Structure formats: structure tokens, C-alpha cells
Amino acid sequence: MSGALIECIYARSDTQMRAGDKILDLSVDLGSAFSQDCPPISYYRVVLRENLWIRRLVVTAGTNWDMEKPLAIFSTAPDEPLEGSVARQIRCAVAGIVYHTDMWSGNAH
């Protein structure tokens, strides 16, 4: 797997987020790896596990995300400078979810 489809974004730029807040839902299609009798698409939700400020979203719903690139820029304070190197990745949880009608892939047709 090298990427995923961004399905829903719950987070907004320049807002404070708390542990347990939903960041986004995404889907992963492993169909190109080998043939299957059923659709090899899995859905996941990314949830924050710490209190942070989301300063800037880099992705939008309906776009393919390259896992080598950031989803968003976070900081521990609302006025922390964004220039410079990244100190660490955020602490988050990823859970498998079922498809729901608010997902981008359900509204794109």
C-alpha cells in the first residue's frame, strides 16, 4: 500500500483539537495486489490521542494521499512557528470502520 483515498475530513484548520477528536476517514484499495471475489477496499478512521492545534490541512476529501506526505500540520500552541523541522509525528489511533454515506466515494457518482 502506498496511498489512500481521503473520504471525510472532520478537522478544520486553525482549530484546537482534543484527544478523541476525529481527524478524517480514509479508504484503502488493495485490489491491484491480486484478484479477489469481493471488493478489497477497507475503511479507516484516524482519531487524535492528544490535545493539539491543527494549523493547516494539506489534503482534501476525494484526493489520493501519498503516504510519504503529511496529512496536516499540527502544533502544541496556536501561535507556534510552523517553519523548521518537524519535531515528531502526532499520537493518533486508527480503527477499521464500515462504509457510511457521508464518504466522498459515495457522493462522487
Of the CA atoms within 13 Å of residue 51, those in its CB half-sphere come to 2
pLDDT given at position 87: 85
Domain boundaries, the chain: 3-107
Residues 72 and 41: their CA atoms lie apart, in Å, by 24
Alpha carbon distances (Å) from 92 to 33, 34, 45, 98: 27, 30, 10, 19
Over residues 82-108, the pLDDT tens digits come to 888 888 899 999 999 999 989 998 775
* Low-confidence spans in the chain with pLDDT less than 70: 1-2, 32-39, 108-109
pLDDT given at position 93: 97
Using an 8 Å Cβ cutoff, are 49 and 93 in contact? Answer: yes
Global pTM?
Answer: 0.86
pLDDT given at position 109: 44
pLDDT given at position 27: 94
